[in-house]
A and B are shown apart, each in its own frame.
Chain A
Amino acid sequence: MRERRLVPRLALVLGFAFLYGPILSMIVFSFNNSRLVTVWDAAHSPTLKWYGALLHNEQILGAAWLSIRIAVVAASVAVVLGTLAGTALARLGAFRGRLLLAGMVTAPIVMPEVITGLSLLLMFVALGQLIGWPKGVGALTITLAHITFCMAYVTVVVQSRLAGFDESLEEAAMDLGARPARVFFRITLPLILPAIVSGWLLAFTLSWDDLVITQFVAGPGSSTLPMVIFSKVRFGVTPDVNALATIMVLLVATGVAISTVWMRYRERRRARDLQLAAAANL
C-alpha cells in the first residue's frame, strides 16, 4: 500500500514546484537592478527602483485604473445575469428554451477566445451600422464583452450551489405565507450569498485579466492593463513587469490569507456552538 502513496505524493511536490517556481522567479528578479532581468546584477541588487518606476508610469497606472473600473462593472452585471440564469436552470424545471439557455451558458467557458473576440467585434460593427449604436468600440464594448463571458462562469457556480440546496427550506417559507419572490430574497439569496460572492470574485479576475477578447473589442483610445503588458512583453522581458507581477501576487496572497483566517474563525465558532448544543442534550 505504501507504493500507492509515493507516486502521487511525488507528483504533488513536483507539481507545486512547477506551479510556484516561475512565480517565485518573477518575484526574485523584480529586485534585480539589471535591465536584463534574469542576469543577476550582484553589485547593485536588490533594489526597489523598478517599483518606483512603476508608480510613475502613467501608461500602466491609467491602464490599471481602466481595467479595474471595467472589471467592477462587468463582474457586478455578470453576477446579476448569472444568478438569474443559474436560478432558471436549477429551479424552473423544463421550460421552453431551457436547452438553448443551458447550451449558451456553458459554451463560453470552453470556446477559444479568438473566436469569441472576433464574433463580438463583428457584431458590434454590424450593430453600429444598423442602428448607430455602439458608436465605435471602446470601454463600453469591452465591458459588454466581459459581461458576456463572465456570466457563464457565474451561472455554473450559482447553479451548482442551488442544485445542492435544501428545497424544503423554500417550501417551508412558502408554507408560512411568503410568496415566491419573497422566498428568494429572504431565504434563498442569503444562503447562496457565499457562492455569489465567489462568483463575483471569479468574474472580476477573469475580466481584469482578459487579453484576447479585449484586444478585439477595444478601440485605439482604450488600453487595459493586460494589453499594455502584452505589448511590452511581446518583445522580451522588462523588469517593471516583474515588479507589477510581484505586487499582484502580494495582493492576491493577502486576499486569500484574510479569507482563510476569516473562514477558520467561523469554523471554530460553529464547532463550539455544536458542542454546546450537544452538551445541553435535550
Chain B
Amino acid sequence: MTAAGDPDSAYVRMANLTKKFGDFTAVDAVSLDIRRGEIFCLLGGSGSGKTTLLRMLAGFERPSAGAIHIDGEDMSAIPPYERPVNMMFQSYALFPHMSVERNIAFGLEQEGLPRAEIRRQVGDILDIVKMGGFGSRKPHQLSGGQRQRVALARALVKRPKLLLLDEPLAALDRKLREHTQFELISIQQRLGVTCIVVTHDQEEAMTLGTRLGVMNHGRIAQVGTPSDIYESPVTRFVADFIGSVNMFEGRVSEDGAECVRIRSEELGCTVRAERSVHCVGGSTVWTAIRPEKINISRHRPLAASAQRADAAENVVRGTVREIAYMGDMSIYLVQLDSGRMMRVTLPNITRGTERGFAREESVWLSWHGSSPVVLTE
C-alpha cells in the first residue's frame, strides 16, 4: 500500500491544459501534478470547468491545447478505450440489460482474459465493495447505494492507473453519504488507486481529498490540503468559496517582520495579523476571519482593555441581531457599529442556554492575532 507517495513524482501531470468551445473557454491553461496513490478533489461550482477537465482526462474531450501525462505516458493520441483510466459516472451508467456480474466483467472481457480469471476478479472486487452475492441481479433490482457500489467495482476491477469519480456521492441521501465517504477512502487505501474526484460539495471534498484543487472559471484558484485551503486561502474567491468567512477591506498601516497591522473602517478597529503575506504599506488589502475563530463576550476582553480605546486591536463591539440554533452549535449574526454584519459560530458546550446571548444584546467580539488571513487579491 502506498502512502501519498514521493512528493516529487507526478503520477498524473496536466500541463497547460485548455479546452475551448467556440469562443467560450471552459478550461484555461490548467497545470496540475497529481501524486501517486492520493485522492485529489477538484472542487468548483457549476461552470467552473471541473467536469470538462475530468472528461479530458478520461478522453471524451480533446484538449484545445496542453498535454496529459499518466505515469510518464503522453495521452494526447490515445482514445478513451485505450487509456489506463476508468471513470465512475455521476449517473452510474450501469448497463441495464446486463447483470451486475456482466457489467463488471465487461471491462475485463475487452482485455481478452480467460473466463475463469474474469470470474475470479469479479468475485474479488464484489467482496471488496461488499456486494458479494449480488452478481446475478440486474441494475433495476438494486437500490441507489447498491448501484453506486457496482459502478465503483466496475471502474476498479481493471486496476486503472487513474480512477476518476464524477460527483460520486451526489445521488445519495445524507446518512448514506457519510457512511459511503469513509468506505470509499478505505477501499482506495486498500487498493492504492490514484483518484481524482470532481465535486461541488465542500464537505465531500474536504472529507475525501488528501489534496484539493479549487476551480473557478476554468482556472485553478488554489491547490493544497484541506486545512491549507481552509485556513490559508490565497484569494478572496477561495476564502469565500470554502465555508463561510467574514471579509473586510482595509489599509495596511504597518508591515512588520512579525505582524501586519491593518486599519479597517468597515470593521471599526485595527487588525493585527500574525501570519501574513507580503504587502506594501498603505495598500488596500482584505482581511478574512473564520466565524469559529471569533470570541463573544459580554465584557471587554482583558487583554484588549489594556489598550487605548482608539487603537483597539482585534476587538470590536457589536449588537446581536440574529441567532440560529443548529443543535451542535449556534450561529450569531452581530451588527457592528459600522453597520456591517459579522458571523460568529459558537459550539454549544453546555446544555441549556445559560451562556447564550440574547437578541439586541451588546457584545464584544475578539480574536487571536493568528486568526486573520490577509489577502491581496
Query: Which A residues form the contact surface with B (CB < 8 A)?
Result: 166, 168-169, 171-179, 182, 186-187, 190-191, 270, 273-274, 276-278, 280-282
Tell whether, in the assembled complex, residue B87 and residue A175 are in contact, meaning their CB atoms are under 8 Å apart. Answer: yes
Residues A177 and B143 in contact in the complex (CB < 8 Å), given A169-B95, A172-B87, A172-B93: no
- A277 to B86, Cβ gap below 8 A? no
Which listed residue (B81, B93, B140) contacts A270, Cβ 8 A?
B140
User: Contact at B97–A191, with CB atoms within 8 Å?
Assistant: yes
B143 partner residues in chain A, CB cutoff 8 A = 277-278, 280-282
Check if B142 is an interface residue, CB within 8 A of chain A. Answer: yes
Residues of A within 8 A of B301 (CB): none
B310 touches A (CB below 8 Å): no
B110 and A178 within 8 A (CB): yes
Question: Cβ of B82 and Cβ of A175 under 8 Å apart?
Answer: no
Nearest neighbor of A171 in chain B, beta-carbon distance: B60
B110 touches A277 (CB 8 A): no
Question: When the two chains form their complex, are residues B107 and A171 in contact, meaning their CB atoms are under 8 A apart?
Answer: no
Q: Across the interface, do B91 and A179 meet the contact criterion of CB distance under 8 Å? A: no
Closest A residue to B104 by CB, please name it. Answer: A176
Question: In the assembly, what is the distance between CA of A169 and CA of B95, in Å?
Answer: 7
Residue of A169, A171, A176 near B110 (CB, 8 A) is: A176
* CB contact under 8 A between A175 and B58, given known A169-B93, A169-B95, A277-B146: yes
4 extra interchain contacts, Cβ-Cβ under 8 A, other than A187-B95, A191-B96?
A172-B89, A175-B58, A280-B142, A280-B146
Is B80 interfacial (CB 8 A cutoff)?
yes
Q: A171-B93, A187-B95, A278-B143 are in contact. Are A177 and B87 (CB under 8 A)?
A: no
Instruction: Name the residue of chain A whose CB is nearest to the CB of B58.
Output: A175
Option from A166, A177, A182 in Cβ contact (under 8 Å) with B107: A177
| CB pair B89 A171 closer than 8 Å | yes
A277 near B140 (CB under 8 angstroms)?
A: yes
| Complex interface bits, B132-161 against A, C-beta within 8 A gives 1, otherwise 0 | 000000101111011000000011001000
Q: How far is the CA of A136 from the CA of B70 in the complex (A)?
A: 64
Interfacial chain B residues near A172, Cβ < 8 Å: 87, 89, 93-95, 154
Min CB distance A95 to B, Å, is 17
Which residue of A has the minimal Cβ distance to B140?
A: A273
Q: Are A176 and B89 in touch, CB under 8 angstroms?
A: no
Cα–Cα, bound, A173→B102 (Å): 12
State the Cβ distance, B166 to closest chain A Cβ, in Å.
Answer: 9
Give the residues in chain A near B94, CB-CB below 8 Å: 172
With A166-B93, A169-B93, A191-B96 in contact, do A178 and B106 touch (Cβ < 8 Å)? yes
Please state if A176 and B86 are interface contacts (CB–CB under 8 Å).
yes
Chain A CB within 8 A of B374 CB: no
Establish whether residues B141 and A176, one from each chain, have CB atoms under 8 Å apart when the complex forms. no
Cβ contacts B62-99/A at 8 Å (1 or 0 each): 00000000000000000111100111011101111100
Most chain A beta carbons < 10 A, residue from B94, B107, B154, B158? B107
Cβ of B111 < 8 Å from any Cβ of A?
yes
Chain A, residue nearest B85 (CB): A175
Residues of A within 8 A of B90 (CB): 168
- Are A176 and B154 in contact, with the CB atoms below 8 A? yes
Give A169 to B98 CA distance when docked, in angstroms: 12
Flag if A174 contacts B80 (CB, 8 Å). yes
What's the minimum C-beta distance from A162 to chain B, rounded to whole angstroms?
15
The residues of A that contact B155 with a CB separation of less than 8 Å are 175
Contact A190 to B97, CB < 8 A, known contacts A173-B106, A178-B110, A277-B143: yes
- When the two chains form their complex, are residues B141 and A276 in contact, meaning their CB atoms are under 8 A apart? yes
Distance A270 CA – B97 CA, assembled complex (angstroms): 13
CA A172 to CA B151, docked complex, whole Å: 10
Chain B residues closer than 8 Å to A281, beta-carbon distance = 143
A-B contact pairs, 23 of them (CB 8 A): A166-B91, A169-B93, A169-B95, A169-B96, A171-B87, A171-B93, A172-B93, A172-B154, A174-B59, A175-B58, A175-B155, A177-B111, A178-B81, A178-B106, A190-B97, A273-B140, A273-B141, A277-B140, A277-B141, A280-B142, A280-B146, A282-B145, A282-B146
Q: Which of B89-130 contact A (CB under 8 A)?
A: 89-91, 93-97, 106-107, 110-111
- For the complex, give the distance between the alpha carbons of A277 and B107 in Å: 25
Q: Smallest Cβ distance from B2 to chain A, in angstroms?
A: 24
Chain B residues, Cβ within 8 Å of A187: 95
Within 8 A of A (CB), among B331-375: none
Kindly provide the distance from the CB of A152 to the nearest chain B CB, expressed in whole angstroms.
28
* A176: contacting residue among B140, B142, B158, CB under 8 A: B158
Contact yes or no, B141 A177, CB < 8 A: no
Could you tell me which residues of chain B, from 204 to 221, have a CB within 8 Å of some CB in chain A?
none
Measured CB to CB, the nearest residue on chain A to B83 is A175
From B58, B90, B143, B158, name the one whose CB has the most chain A CB atoms within 10 angstroms.
B143
Tell me, rounded to whole Å, the shortest Cβ–Cβ distance linking B179 to chain A: 10
CB distance from A23 to the nearest CB of B (A): 38
Considering residues B97, B145, B154, B158, which has the most beta carbons from chain A within 10 angstroms of its beta carbon?
Answer: B97
**Shortest beta-carbon distance, A111 to chain B, in Å?**
37
B146 touches A171 (CB 8 A): no
Is the beta-carbon distance between A174 and B141 smaller than 8 angstroms? Answer: no
